[in-house]
Amino acid sequence: MVTEVYLEGMTALEIQDLARNWIRYQEAWERVGGPCRECTELQWAYNLVDDMVIDRPEESWQLILAVRRLNQSAVIEQMLAAAVFEDLMSVYGATLIDRVEAESKRDPSFIGVIRSSYKAHMSDEVWSRLKALADPAFFLQLIA
């Protein structure tokens, strides 16, 4: 099975390949408006990303960055926020928030992912820091 290849630890190229297939899944779903043959063929990528967020925060963070490098469309941004970023920050937000802030400063368009996110199960502190990043006045101070 394809997913077994990825379970032993992922290289940067494997993460990029997974990101590409996850994007293809999301685009197919959006194009058809629901399940489709291509979605079925790519379901493994969706499932692997969903599982990865639970116990592989480093690879999940790298996946988010890979997806952003490959595709910054509004649809993918929203799906990345809802399907990956929110869950990752709910579990590992305290560990990753500094990286999120640094990435937002490095690439201001990353704020779109934050603005497309909901609190979910994030701690109040992590959510507060994310909301501050999403606030235009605060963000202008951050990048000055």
pLDDT tens digits along 82-131: 999 999 999 999 999 999 999 999 999 999 999 999 999 999 999 999 99
* Three-state secondary structure call for residue 9: coil
Average pLDDT, the chain: 90
69: Cα separation from own chain's centroid: 11
Domain ranges across the chain: 11-143
Encode pLDDT of 44-72 as tens digits. Answer: 999 999 999 999 999 999 999 999 999 99
The pTM assigned to this predicted structure is 0.88
Check whether 40 has a pLDDT greater than 80: yes
Find tokens 């290849």 and name the residue.
5
pLDDT band at 5 (very low <50, low <70, confident <90, very high): very low
* pLDDT confidence band for 134 (50 / 70 / 90): confident
* Residue 104: burial class (beta carbons within 10 Å; 0-12, 13-18, 19+): buried
Q: Mean pLDDT throughout 13-40?
A: 95
